[in-house]
């Protein structure tokens, strides 16, 4: 199962990078999001999977595709001058990020717990638990995020409606 969803995610992501057509690239990204949602389900977190689909594929990607269609740009434009340096720098960054991610996973306590027999299995996440976590343990972060989103919303309105 993990291999299936990982492959779906990877193929979607690679397809998105390689596609010249912007709309098809967007749809490939939707495929990748679906793979990630499947991985969330495997991690016993169906709430995150549902939210991933609702927020990312159901709202954000639709709006992105909507804007692309509105501007009606079918093909990606070629860069005016290509610098080979960019390619190497990005490749190095990707490799560094990958090594860092693998190190993080290997060093995580969850992986060590897997080796111990009879260790407590993680419980599946429910919406109730998410609510308690948000409003009891992480209330400050929640409020800050809310404030940030409000500021962004006011900023967007102010930018588009100059003369209210």
Partner 1 sequence: MDMLASLLHITPAVLWMVLKVVIVFGGVMSLAAIFTWVERRGSAMIQDRIGPNRAALFGKIRIIGLAQILADGIKMFFKEDLVPTDSNRNLFWLAPFLAFVPALLGFAVIPFGKSFSSGGATYHLSVLDPGNGMGMLYPLAIGGMAVYGVLVAAWSSNNKWSILGGMRASAAMVSYEIGMSLAVVSIFMTTGGYDPSEIISSQGGTFLGVLPNWNIFHQPLGFIVFFTCMFAETNRLPFDFAEGESEIVAGFNTEFGSMKFSLMALAEYSHMMTASALIATLYFGGWQVPFVQNPPVLLSVACFVLKLLFFAWVFVWIRWTLPRFRYDQLMALGWKRMLPLAMVNLVFHAWRMSQGH
Nearer to partner 1, 83 or 161 (CB): 161
Give the pair of three-digit tokens for residue 85.
């340096």
| Among residues 110, 126, 147, 157, the one that binds partner 1 under rule CB under 8 A | 126
Q: Which residues contact 124 (CB under 8 A, 6 or more apart)?
A: 44, 45, 46
Binding of residue 1 to partner 1 (CB under 8 A): no
Contacts with partner 1 in 78-117 (CB under 8 A)?
Answer: none
Cα 133–chain centre separation: 21
Please state the φ and ψ torsions of residue 161, each to the nearest 5 degrees. -110, 85
| Among residues 17, 70, 121, 140, the one that binds partner 1 under rule CB under 8 A | 70
How many other β-carbons are positioned within 10 Å of the β-carbon of residue 89? Answer: 11
Interface characters, 21-60, with partner 1 (x: CB under 8 A): x-xx--x--x-------------xxxx-xxx-xx--xxx-
| Among residues 10, 14, 18, 62, the one that binds partner 1 under rule CB under 8 A | 62
What is the rounded distance in angstroms from the CA atom of residue 18 to the CA atom of residue 60?
21
Look at residues 65, 58, 64, 43 and name the one whose alpha carbon lies nearest to residue 125. Answer: 43
CB 46 within 8 A of CB 124: yes
Interface characters, 129-158, with partner 1 (x: CB under 8 A): ------------------------------
| Among residues 124, 139, 147, 158, the one that binds partner 1 under rule CB under 8 A | 124
Question: How far is CA 5 from each of CA 2, 10, 43, rounded to the nearest angstrom?
Answer: 5, 9, 12
Query: Whole-number minimum distance, CB 111 to partner 1, in Å?
Result: 23
Site residues (vs partner 1, CB under 8 A) = 21, 23-24, 27, 30, 44-47, 49-51, 53-54, 57-59, 62-63, 65-66, 69-70, 124-128
């Amino acid at each position: 199962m993990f291999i299936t969803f990982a492959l779906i995610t990877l193929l979607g992501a690679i397809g998105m990078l390689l596609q010249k057509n912007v709309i098809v690239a967007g749809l490939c990204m939707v495929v990748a999001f679906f793979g990630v949602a499947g991985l969330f389900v495997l991690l016993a977190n169906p709430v995150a999977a549902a939210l991933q689909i609702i927020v990312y594929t159901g709202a954000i990607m639709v709006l992105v595709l909507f804007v692309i269609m509105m501007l009606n740009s079918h093909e990606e434009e070629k860069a005016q001058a290509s610098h080979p340096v960019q390619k190497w720098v990005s490749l190095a960054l990707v490799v560094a990020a990958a090594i860092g991610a693998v190190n993080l996973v290997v060093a995580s306590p969850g992986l060590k717990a897997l080796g111990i027999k009879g260790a407590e299995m993680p419980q599946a996440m429910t919406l109730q638990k998410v609510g308690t976590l948000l409003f009891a343990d992480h209330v400050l972060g929640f409020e800050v995020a809310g404030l940030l989103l409000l500021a962004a919303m006011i900023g967007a309105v102010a930018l588009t409606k100059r003369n209210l």
